[in-house]
Every structure is written in C-alpha cells, then in structure tokens.
Amino acid sequence: MSILVDEESRVVVQGITGKEGTFHTKQMLAYGTRVVAGVTPGKGGQEVEGVPVFNTVREAVKKQGANVSCIFVPAPFAADAVMEAAAAGIRVVVCITEGIPVLDMVKAAHFLKDRDCVLIGPNCPGIISPGKTKVGIMPGPIHKPGSVGVISRSGTLTYEVVDQLTKAGLGQSTCIGIGGDPIIGTSFVDHLERFREDDQTECVVLIGEIGGSAEEEAAGYVVQTRYPKPLLAFIAGRTAPPGRRMGHAGAIISGGQGRAEDKIRALEEAGITVVANLAEFGATARKILMDG
C-alpha cells in the first residue's frame, strides 16, 4: 500500500503549458505517473508530451477521470487553481507553487475546510510513492520502494534524507513534502494518522525546521495516541538567529517561538529519535530499524 497516491492515480497538471509544467510533466511521465490531462485556460485542444490540454479542471475530470492535481500555476493565480481543483472534485491537490500571498491561502484554506480534498503544499516538492507514482518535482531515481514513510517541511532536505535511506537499504512507502509556507494544506499530524493506518509503512521519518509549532504538535499527537511505529526526526535551523527567515517563509523564529531546541526537546520527550547530524541520518536509521 501507500498513502494518498498510487499507480491508479490519474493526474491533471494545472499550468501544463508553462516551462515548469511542461518539464515536470515529462519527468512524471518518465517515472510512470498516469498524467491524463493538463489545464491552461484558453489553450484547450492542444497537447503537451501527448497529454491533452483542457481549459478547465472540470473538463479534465469529466473527460479523463482525473482525481489528483499537480499545480504549476504562477503565484498570483495559484490559490484560485487550488480552489478550482477542489470544486471540480479532485481528491488530492499538490501545489508546487511558491510565493503565494498569505491572504490568498487563507481564502483557499477556508474554501477547502468542508470539502473532501487533501491539499499538499504550497511551496513543496510534492508526493511520491516509489515504484508507483510521483506527483511533483522529486528526483525519482533516489527513491526506492520500501517501508519508511517520510514527511518533510523541506524539499532539499527530503532528497538528502531519502538518498541516505536508500543507500542504507531502507526503501520508502510514501514521501510527502508538506511545504514551508506559513499556511499549508496538511500537517505532520495529518500524515502521521495516515501512515499509522498504512500496512506498508513500518517507520516514519519527520523532517522539520525552525518556525511555527508543527513539530511540537506532532510530538503531542505521538504521546497522546501512543504512536505504534518507530519515529525518527531531523530539525534544520539550529544556528538560525531570531527574526531572520531561513529559506522558507515559515522558517523564522518570532516572538521567542519556533526555536530548534524547543522542537528537539518536544520530539525527544515524545520518544522520537532525533538525529543531530544530517550526514548520519541513514546510518542511524539503519541501526534502529535493521540492526535492532
């Protein structure tokens, strides 16, 4: 099994005719993802890499059976693209776009609240179930099918950790980049719940960073539910000065909150193994999961 996406997922790429949309559509197709449609208003009737282009997501759902969306729409229009996908009945929306205005995301989050739609992102690398499908921009070759679930706020750190896991002989069930913006669609807790119920996933990796309280909330959930699977974590930004944004819009220590040491303490108190040195993540995971 895997969570949210698999080999049966039928993907529509919103913004497919743009440079990024076209490039990553080609990469997804090469991985084996079933990209069945693209959407760019005003360009319906064209094809990109053999994929038919429609003017609206609703058309893509009706004519091609799309049920997952991958968004490469420019920031000023991306929140509207998210809402269009949800309104058309798309069940999983992956928004790669970064720089979406916060007020736009407030509106989108409210729109999604009572709908049966899972938003991953924005400002994220997407989601991949290795050997089955990838929806987003992750480098496919570093991933390997297996039993480790990965949830991350950082794209590049995800790639580093996954590469180490794969080289250590630890494949992945599903890897999710939840995004680094202040307002995102899903949290560590949301996906911990999904991985808890997934038979393929035997261990979960959390990759966090400074800013916000997502990691502390995950730690609280683990304690509250007596989470039954081993957990490992890494927190980026230990040396970040307060008040300075580090990479992501949400990665900032503000008002004394969001510090790395507080997150690490909360995770360790919840019984989660926190790896201090990123270069040792793969070896540490192998020792815990394979060598006992």
List the catalytic residues. Answer: 248
Whose tokens are 């911990």? That residue is 192
On the 0-12 / 13-18 / 19+ scale of CB atoms within 10 A, 103 is exposed
**Closest to 26 (Cα-Cα) out of 54, 50, 49, 53:** 49
Within a 10 A sphere around the Cβ of 7, how many other Cβ atoms?
12
**Separate counts of helices (H) and strands (E) for the chain:** 9, 14
DSSP 104: H
On the 0-12 / 13-18 / 19+ scale of CB atoms within 10 A, 158 is buried
φ, ψ at 186 (rounded to 5°): -140, 160
Whose tokens are 């992501």? That residue is 248
